[in-house]
């Protein structure tokens, strides 16, 4: 899925204000069908020069939070951020101790230059790095792999679920077992 935000916002290159962000959020919600499989939803900022924190809070973070609660297989990613938008989103995320996937997306929807924008706390960073290293994992597998950390399966599961709630990890269920993998690879 790809959403051309410049087009959705009437070719406005400066996106500001909570009200505008809520309008875009409503449009994104209306335009997003449920997905049967995990799917990245690229919020394409190509052509947008500036976006304020209040706009980003309501539109980008609001859509991420909505998707993670209501659309289990939809994972928002911000793409093609101009330097000013990148800086504003990074500042906003760091002030909230939050994180969001960002990348470059070309005309053929090839993803490159992926990174996590914002800050993970040390426990989240350790967990995220373990998933990146191991690929698809379960909480019991992490507990068995890292017994020196004295973290049980329940605590690993809570950490993994927290990262999935932020849209960083894809969560899949197989019976009673949940497995997790990174949504995107870090470039």
pLDDT tens track for 31-62: 999 888 889 999 999 999 999 999 999 999 99
Q: What is the pTM of this model?
A: 0.89
Instruction: Label residues 4-33 b or e (16+ Cβ within 10 Å = b).
Output: ebbebbeeeeebeebebbbbbbebbeeebe
**pLDDT given at position 46:** 96
Of the candidate CATH numbers 3.30.160, 2.60.120, 3.40.50, 3.30.750, the domain formed by 2-118 belongs to 3.30.750
**pLDDT given at position 186:** 63
What gap in Å lies between CA 77 and CA 75, rounded to an integer? 7
- Would you say residue 146 has pLDDT above 90? no
Please give the C-alpha separations between residue 143 and each of 123, 128, 139, 183, in angstroms, as whole numbers: 14, 14, 6, 22
**Mean pLDDT of the residues in the chain:** 92
Residue range 122-182, CATH number: 1.10.10.10
- Tell me which of 12-16, 65-69, 153-157, 171-175 is least confident: 171-175
| Residue ranges per structural domain of the chain | 2-118, 122-182
């Amino acid at each position: 899925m790809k959403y051309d935000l410049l087009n959705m916002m009437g070719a406005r290159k400066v996106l500001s204000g909570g009200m505008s962000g809520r309008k875009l959020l409503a449009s994104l919600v209306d335009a997003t069908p449920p997905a049967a499989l995990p799917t990245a939803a690229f919020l394409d900022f190509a052509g947008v020069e500036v976006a304020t924190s209040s706009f980003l809070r309501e539109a980008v973070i609001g859509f991420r939070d909505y998707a993670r609660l209501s659309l289990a297989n939809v994972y928002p990613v911000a793409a093609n951020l101009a330097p000013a938008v990148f800086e504003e989103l990074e500042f906003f995320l760091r002030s909230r101790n939050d994180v969001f996937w960002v990348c470059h997306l070309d005309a053929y929807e090839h993803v490159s230059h992926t990174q996590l924008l914002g800050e993970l706390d040390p426990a989240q960073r350790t967990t995220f790095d373990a998933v990146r290293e191991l690929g698809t994992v379960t909480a019991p597998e992490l507990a068995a792999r890292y017994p020196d950390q004295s973290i049980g399966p329940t605590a690993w599961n809570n950490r993994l679920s927290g990262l999935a709630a932020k849209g960083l990890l894809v969560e899949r269920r197989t019976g009673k077992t949940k497995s997790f993998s990174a949504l995107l690879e870090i470039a």
